[in-house]
Amino acid sequence: MANNGAIFVVGLGPGSKEYRTIRAQQVLEEADIIVGYNTYLKMIKDVTDGKEVIGAKMKEEVFRAKVTIEKALEGKKVALVSSGDPQVYGMASLLLDMMIRHGYDIPVEVVPGVTAALAVSSRLGSPLSLDYASISLSDLLIPREEILLRVRKAAEGDFTIVLYNPISKPLLEASMEIIREVKKVPIPVGIVDHAFRDNEKVIITDLDSWKKYEQLIGMVTTLVIGNSKTYVAGNKMITPRGYERKYSY
């Protein structure tokens, strides 16, 4: 007898309902079970009534993936939720990796969402108009030395740099000092906390002055450090795409 179970790994976007995709909303409404980090589940109370909801704490990602698979094997349609996009430091890779390793054959759809880099940059202006690199500063899974090497290489490549998960202040400070050392000039820095949520804060500063705002930086803060062409006009942080090199406007 066929098992009609299915898994949907859903990106919730930055937080507010209007920034979920139409497909994400559809999947959440149709799912039998929703699994997620407790904080994320609070963001989707509009779709959880009448459903089985399985919450988990921080550092319980393996449990979330495991219970999602178990419920799908029972024939349920399960939505495993991540904030932003589930592929960007989210649950998609863990869930798929676990399924491959154990040989599970369950239909899986990854439903993309607006990741933090895009959400915060829209608040800042347009700092990601040219090549950029996103780097997570969480050293729970990746060694500190490896993270700092990536930061240095991104700075040397003159990428606009997006820093996710700036939880460790020593690691954040070390990363910003590397970027400052490489850049040698006061590049613009955008700091956005709680993007598209209550208590949102948007700050534009630079590499020389960012530490004045360090006390505001936490788990739901994302930093955007410009490249050598990024500039600030009014309250907008702008990275030119390169049209000015070829066209007169």
| pTM: predicted TM-score of the whole model, two decimal places | 0.93
Residue 244 confidence (pLDDT): 82
The ranges of the chain annotated as CATH 3.30.950.10 are 117-238
Asked if residue 170 lies in contact with residue 217, where contact means CB atoms within 8 angstroms, the answer is: no
Residue 24 confidence (pLDDT): 98
Compute mean pLDDT per 10 residues along the chain, 249 residues long, and list them: 84 93 97 96 93 95 97 97 97 97 96 97 97 97 97 98 97 98 95 94 97 95 97 96 84
Residue 64 confidence (pLDDT): 98
Residue 1 confidence (pLDDT): 41
The ranges of the chain annotated as CATH 3.40.1010.10 are 6-114
Residue 248 confidence (pLDDT): 84
Q: What's the Cα-to-Cα distance from 106 to each of 70, 75, 109, 198, rounded to whole Å?
A: 11, 10, 10, 37
For domain 117-238, the CATH class is alpha beta
Q: What's the Cα-to-Cα distance from 146 to each of 7, 116, 122, 150, rounded to whole Å?
A: 33, 22, 29, 6
Residue 4 confidence (pLDDT): 82
- DSSP symbol at 19: G
6-114 placed in CATH 3.40.1010.10:
yes
Residue 193's DSSP bridge partners are 201, 221
Asked if residue 188 lies in contact with residue 231, where contact means CB atoms within 8 angstroms, the answer is: yes
d(CA 40, CA 168): 21
> What 3-state class would DSSP assign to 170?
helix
Asked if residue 240 lies in contact with residue 226, where contact means CB atoms within 8 angstroms, the answer is: no
